[in-house]
Amino acid sequence: MKNSNRRNFLKLTGLGSLGLFGSANLAGCSTKEKDQTQKNQGNDISSREYTQQFNMHGYAAPALDVVRMGITGIGNRGSGTVMRFASIEGVEIVAINDLEKDRVDAAIKSIAETHDPVGYSDGEEDWKRMCERDDIDLIAIATPWHLHTDQAVFAMEHGKHVFTELPAAQTVEECWRLVEASERTKKHCVQMSGSCHEGDSAFVLNMIRKGLFGEIIHGEGGYIHDLMNQYNFSKTMYHNMWRLNENIDRHGNLYPQHALTPMAQMMDLNYGDQMSHLVSMSSNDFMMGERAKELAADDEFWMSYVGKDYRGNMNSTMIRTHKGRTILIQHDVTTPRPGIRFNLIAGTKASYLARPGRIGYSYNDGWISQEEYDALVEEHTPEITKRFNALVEAANRPGRAQRSYERVSATDWRLIDCLRNGLPVEMDVYDAALTSSVIPLSEWSVANKSAPVDVPDFTSGAWKNNQRGMDVALKNGGGTTRIL
């Protein structure tokens, strides 16, 4: 890094007075410009000493007969969140919040047959008033990314469990705030990233647990998803263009969880293994800046987006665990290519590949036949997934259309299942913090010519003895939620 860039980076992160530049132990850093000086001033978060207040991994909160919910953020994802949870038996939607009253009104109307929520849309702080209610058990957060941590911490401090859209945090400091708040309040903080209860990852995880993959060595995946026109450069999709703005002045992996969460479960991260360090590299931007220019030629609105420092079109982040496993996570929301999330898991006995071309399973140098593959899926789909699939089929029979499970994910249902039955949640605050920390750590690595950076241990060493969070679900179908 040239001296002028070095000085700018030190000023940006507030680390100049710490004498830490050049160390790989700078996990508190993020290259996002806004508010980073305040967020990182005087904090070498990676190496700080922290004593766990209470181990939330494996903690079973008191059972709830009905899970009473408040939901904040009714935009692109939030409207779907309302519909999904309104469809689950044993859930009562109590309150809905958004800055835009018409969205709140529309959401209330969409579930009026089964729920009667109160609307909150009186300014930017009205979500707090909702969280202060004493008749809410769970707050679902689907607001812009930069609000997630503040809202989650506030909700936990006011006696609520939290289910937050990803990312749960955007700086390492925010990750620690989530961990501290969850441990202090004994309230769950669960991130809405895909679990291994549905789709390909469900039976793959089950096969891994049965030893059919041998020792896991390597995994690959990413958020490969073309968002150029439908999302990032849409005037109506996101309030105040916040999603596009997140791609400006930031260079790293901004959205790792969709791919990383299933692989973290397959590799026992936070319960038997842990991330050690990572390196990250980004390409230049070849597309977003050009798209802004094209749009600005016909629409003055886009002039303010011309000449911005857009994130590189492709980011590749490599992670190494303490046990020597490796993970490749990529982030590309611009180039025209098929979508990829969890894609590859390789072990000493077998490998699984989702894309490109076909879903495959191999225990030698070629893929097994489709017939053999289908038989494996049937045999190894876990009981919890079969239970959910049967629930969906039964709930959609004639006469129950108002509670259709068509849009409900197994992750949604399983969280409610755990809360209603007093079971430990399977993806807890440590999983949210660990996977979210990849974002700022990758930004630091990119800013420092792909230098390695240590990953903090948010479990304070408890990962060495923690039991697998998914084991409860894979045994005998999990809980006893009263659905049918």
Task: Quickly state the pLDDT bin for 23 (edges 50, 70, 90).
Answer: very low
**Nearest-angstrom CA–CA distance, 262 and 219:** 10
Task: Quickly state the pLDDT bin for 85 (edges 50, 70, 90).
Answer: very high
pLDDT tens, residue by residue, 316-371: 999 999 999 999 999 999 999 888 899 999 999 999 999 765 678 888 888 888 89
What local confidence, expressed as pLDDT, does residue 375 receive?
Answer: 92
**Interhelix angle 172-185/429-447, nearest 10 degrees:** 170
DSSP annotation of 187 reads -
Which whole number is the average pLDDT over 459-476? 77
Residue 12 reports pLDDT greater than 90: no
Residue scoring higher pLDDT (398 or 307): 307
pLDDT tens, residue by residue, 105-124: 999 999 999 999 999 999 99
What local confidence, expressed as pLDDT, does residue 405 receive?
Answer: 67
**Nearest-angstrom CA–CA distance, 379 and 149:** 40
Task: Quickly state the pLDDT bin for 49 (edges 50, 70, 90).
Answer: confident
- Find the range with the poorest average confidence among 77-81, 135-139, 303-307, 453-457: 77-81
Share above pLDDT 70 across residues of the chain, in percent, rounded to a whole number:
83
Q: Which of 129, 159, 165, 130 is nearest to 147 (CA)?
A: 165
What local confidence, expressed as pLDDT, does residue 384 receive?
Answer: 83
Q: Under a CB-based contact definition with an 8 Å cutoff, are residues 432 and 141 in contact?
A: no
Q: Which of 471, 478, 479 is nearest to 57 (CA)?
A: 471
Task: Quickly state the pLDDT bin for 435 (edges 50, 70, 90).
Answer: very high
Q: Which of 104, 76, 122 is nearest to 244 (CA)?
A: 76
Which whole number is the average pLDDT over 379-400? 78
Residue scoring higher pLDDT (193 or 27): 193
Residue 476 reports pLDDT greater than 70: no
Residue 223 reports pLDDT greater than 90: yes
pLDDT tens, residue by residue, 155-199: 999 999 999 999 999 999 999 999 999 999 999 999 998 777 778
Place of tokens 């109160």: 118
- Say whether 321 sits in a helix, a strand or coil: strand
Which whole number is the average pLDDT over 76-83? 86
Q: What are the structural domains of the chain?
A: 51-195+382-428+469-484 (3.40.50.720)
- Find the range with the poorest average confidence among 34-48, 75-89, 266-280: 34-48
- Say whether 386 sits in a helix, a strand or coil: helix
What local confidence, expressed as pLDDT, does residue 361 receive?
Answer: 86
Task: Quickly state the pLDDT bin for 47 (edges 50, 70, 90).
Answer: low
What local confidence, expressed as pLDDT, does residue 474 receive?
Answer: 53
Q: Under a CB-based contact definition with an 8 Å cutoff, are residues 378 and 372 in contact?
A: no
What local confidence, expressed as pLDDT, does residue 34 receive?
Answer: 37
- Encoding tokens for residue 473? 């679900």
338: preceding bond cis by omega (within 30 degrees):
no
Q: 120 forms bridges with which residues in the sheet?
A: 97
Share above pLDDT 90 across residues of the chain, in percent, rounded to a whole number:
69
**Nearest-angstrom CA–CA distance, 307 and 7:** 23
Q: Under a CB-based contact definition with an 8 Å cutoff, are residues 32 and 447 in contact?
A: no
Q: What is the largest CA-CA distance in the chain?
A: 70
Q: Is the pTM of this model over 0.95?
A: no
pLDDT tens, residue by residue, 271-293: 999 999 999 999 999 999 999 99
What local confidence, expressed as pLDDT, does residue 337 receive?
Answer: 87
| CA distances (Å), origin 153, targets 54, 149, 203, 346 | 16, 6, 34, 37
Phi, psi of 161 (to 5 degrees): -70, 160
34: Cα within 13 Å, side-chain hemisphere:
7
Q: What is the mean pLDDT of the chain?
A: 86
Task: Quickly state the pLDDT bin for 481 (edges 50, 70, 90).
Answer: very low
Residue 8 reports pLDDT greater than 90: no
The set of residues, in sequence order, having a beta carbon less than 8 Å from that of 347 and lying 6+ positions away, is 208, 213, 214, 215, 216, 217
The set of residues, in sequence order, having a beta carbon less than 8 Å from that of 363 and lying 6+ positions away, is 349, 350, 351
